[in-house]
Amino acid sequence: MNKQNSKSITHIESFGIEEIPAYARTATPFDLFRLSFGGANTFSTCVLGSFPIMLGLSFQAGLLAILCGVVFGACILAPMGIFGARTGTNNAVASAAHFGVHGRIVGSFLSLLTAIAFFSLSVWSSGDALMGATQRLFDHSSQSNWLYALVY
């Protein structure tokens, strides 16, 4: 078994912008599950998941709101998942084939926008939750800028 066919979870992708050959595509559905499951189960996800209830929605209405948001987001982002499977490369490189040489900006921008949105939501929601917990834990009623900076 050569190094590129290695099934080690610590294997680092060594291909650049060229197409990944079929023999080197070793991912399984379980690999995708681990990636999705691990990324979806974070503290910030738990906090964000509790927002519908905290905003006064019933459990059923909150579940419906979350499902609608997931379906709407999937309709926008799911087509980007087709690029990698068809071209054997990442979204930024694959979008160049559809939109020209400068088309890489389209795929890169969508990936960057998604990352910034999730990062912002995670920091905001988790930071506020941690700030509230810190104030309760240390019986602080004042809102210090230093404490906010430390928590965030």
Q: Name every residue whose Cβ is closer than 8 Å to that of residue 87 and which is 6 or more positions away in sequence.
A: 19, 93, 94, 97
Spans of all domains in the chain: 19-151
The answer to whether the CB of 18 falls within 8 A of the CB of 32 is no
pLDDT per position as a tens digit, 91-146: 677 777 777 777 777 777 877 888 888 888 778 777 887 888 888 888 776 777 88
Q: Has this prediction a pTM greater than 0.85?
A: no
Long-range contacts (CB closer than 8 Å, 24 or more residues apart) made by 70-76: none
pLDDT category of residue 68 using cuts at 50, 70 and 90: very high
Distance CA 9, CA 143 (A): 44
Angle, CA of 91, 122 and 152, to the nearest 5°: 130
Q: How far is 54 from 29, CA to CA, in rounded Å?
A: 35
pLDDT value of position 72: 92
